[in-house]
Amino acid sequence: MKFWLGASFADADQFVELARAAERCGFDTLTLSDHLFYADFATPYPYSRSGKPRWDARTHWPDVWVTIGAMAAVTSTLRFSPNVYIAPARDLFTVAKQVSTAAVLSRDRVTFGVGVGWCKEEFVGTGQDFHTRGRRLDAMLPALRSLWSGEIVTLDGLPPLSISPTPAAPIPVYVGGDSDAALRRAARLGDGWIGNRIYTEEQFDVVLDSLRNHLAGRTIDIIAPLAVMPDAETYRRFEAKGVTGTMAAPWWLATPEEKSRYGEGTLDLKIATMERFAEEIIAKM
């Protein structure tokens, strides 16, 4: 079982120290989320009953690849992944160059967590078509893998081309989302699947059954954010189901004493709860 740190919603100036602490505590991968701007979105947010996002204009959404570059510079073993990057809101070459550069600078410590996104306004803002985003991502992933290999690629309307720099090792592609289309995409094109919400065991079992049906015997990594009280035995039970990694933000489970001592939302609180999680869970796994 690998432990991923879900660091979304952290302030931008906390990420470098969170990365140092995550590596020291034994986390495998640090994740952060991708949003371009905040607005009064007309598109309903799919993960809340109200349809409204759970954040406001003050919430930080630092650029994924700039932040990964900064964190990679102060670590040596910790991996990094967006959860998830909305690739079809950008053009192919912007995505290819950003991810490839981050992979090279981190010495192959990047996982490409990718999804189609839910926010139409962000696609309008970047001039990309919202309604074809799934079809375009299906075409984009094989093209990205070819570009990241450094090989000559032929694309419609362009001369044969390649990009540089490219990483020494293939960049793993983990597809996010639990819609049927997302699960089919993960089974067909992904090296792994990342859950896009926090699942109870019952919810996760339904998703896992559907994913396995699409996989038809193929094996990929499964990263499941789980709504369980963390303990080693619980995680061993999920490991037996085929979960290869889980995601946690230990400060969400901070005790009243920890909140009082360190302060709500502070870097000190985050690091203290990460250290406790490492002692009580990671060390025992």
- The predicted model scores a pTM of 0.95
Angle at 20 between CA 97 and CA 3, to 5 degrees: 80
pLDDT digits (tens, 9 = 90+) for 3-43: 999 999 999 999 999 999 999 999 999 999 999 999 999 99
Q: Which structural domain, as residue segments, surrounds residue 12?
A: 2-250
pLDDT value of position 230 = 82
Q: Can you tell me the distance from the alpha carbon of 21 to that of 25, in angstroms, rounded to the nearest whole number?
A: 6
Angle at 45 between CA 41 and CA 49, to 5 degrees: 125
Average pLDDT over residues 273-282: 95
Pair 127, 267 in one domain: no
Number of domains present in the structure of the chain: 2
Pair 216, 262 in one domain: no
Are 105 and 72 contacting, i.e. CB atoms less than 8 angstroms apart? Answer: yes
Pair 202, 275 in one domain: no
DSSP per position, 190-218: -SEEE-SSPBPHHHHHHHHHHHHHHHTT-
Q: Can you tell me the distance from the alpha carbon of 242 to that of 231, in angstroms, rounded to the nearest whole number?
A: 17
Pair 201, 276 in one domain: no
pLDDT value of position 34 = 97
